[in-house]
């Protein structure tokens, strides 16, 4: 692998501040094929990519879009069309359970008081959204975080397709469908995943 980091800094995530970097690496990999990544600096959303942890760059997560999958990249995605949700995906082990949970995090970066099973929580949010503004989660640099100096959590952004001015209706529909399909694959992967022992 090349020893150079991507020229797009949005695709190089720093793990220096993680006390449990290995745990963060294992946690984030489950989203590699199940959530799209947004790069605000180039205004693109990548639906096909790989995550690497290069030996040459200690404690770095590098995201490499598939260069051969041109149609899996969505262009001209205005920064204003992607917003933070304040929702976090957390490992169940953080609260003495298994699987993924949806949670809120307080201003001091401590776990909030509400945690619900990931799939049930997201399906409820999705069902409550109007058709013209669906809930479509994506990841961006800075979304992988650590709570209590130990547990990795993933913040979610969301994209608003109808707010993307320079995108055709067909591309908006394709983007919506791709994100929705990936989310379904994450639900399925969680059902198939073996139960983890509580640490």
In a domain, 2, yes or no: no
The span from the CA of 55 to the CA of 101, in Å, is: 31
Nearest Cα residue to 43 out of 7, 10, 84: 10
**Domains in the chain: how many in total?**
1
Residue 197 pLDDT exceeds 90: no
pTM: 0.89
In a domain, 198, yes or no: no
Residue 84 pLDDT exceeds 80: yes
Residue 195 pLDDT exceeds 70: no
In a domain, 30, yes or no: yes
pLDDT, tens digit, for every residue of 21-48?
899 999 999 999 999 999 999 999 999 9
- Residue 17 is predicted with a pLDDT of 87
Cβ contact 35:137 at 8 Å: yes
The span from the CA of 131 to the CA of 79, in Å, is: 21
In a domain, 197, yes or no: no
Q: How confident is the model over 48-67, as a mean pLDDT?
A: 86
In a domain, 176, yes or no: yes
In a domain, 29, yes or no: yes
Q: How confident is the prediction for the chain on average, in pLDDT? A: 88
How would you label 97-132 residue by residue, b for 16+ Cβ within 10 Å and e otherwise? beebbbbebeeeeebeeebeebbebbeebeeeeeee
Q: How confident is the model over 136-165, as a mean pLDDT?
A: 93
In a domain, 33, yes or no: yes
Binning pLDDT at 50, 70 and 90, where does residue 194 land?
low
Query: What is the residue range of 126's domain?
Result: 9-192
In a domain, 173, yes or no: yes
Binning pLDDT at 50, 70 and 90, where does residue 56 land?
low
């Amino acid at each position: 692998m090349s020893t150079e980091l991507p020229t797009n800094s949005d695709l190089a995530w720093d793990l220096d501040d993680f006390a449990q970097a290995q745990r963060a690496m294992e946690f984030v990999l489950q989203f590699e094929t199940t959530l799209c990544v947004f790069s605000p600096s180039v205004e693109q959303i990548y639906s096909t990519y790989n995550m690497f942890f290069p030996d040459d760059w200690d404690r770095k997560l590098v995201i490499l879009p598939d260069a051969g999958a041109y149609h899996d990249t969505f262009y001209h995605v205005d920064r204003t069309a992607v917003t933070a949700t304040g929702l976090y995906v957390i490992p169940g082990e953080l609260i003495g359970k298994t699987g993924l949970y949806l949670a809120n995090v307080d201003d001091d970066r401590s776990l909030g008081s509400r945690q619900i099973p990931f799939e049930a929580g997201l399906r409820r949010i999705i069902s409550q959204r109007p058709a013209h503004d669906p809930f479509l989660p994506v990841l961006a640099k800075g979304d992988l975080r650590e709570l209590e100096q130990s547990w990795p959590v993933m913040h979610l952004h969301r994209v608003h397709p109808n707010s993307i001015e320079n995108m055709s209706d067909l591309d908006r529909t394709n983007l919506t469908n791709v994100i929705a399909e990936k989310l379904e694959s994450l639900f399925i992967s969680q059902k198939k995943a073996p139960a983890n022992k509580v640490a």
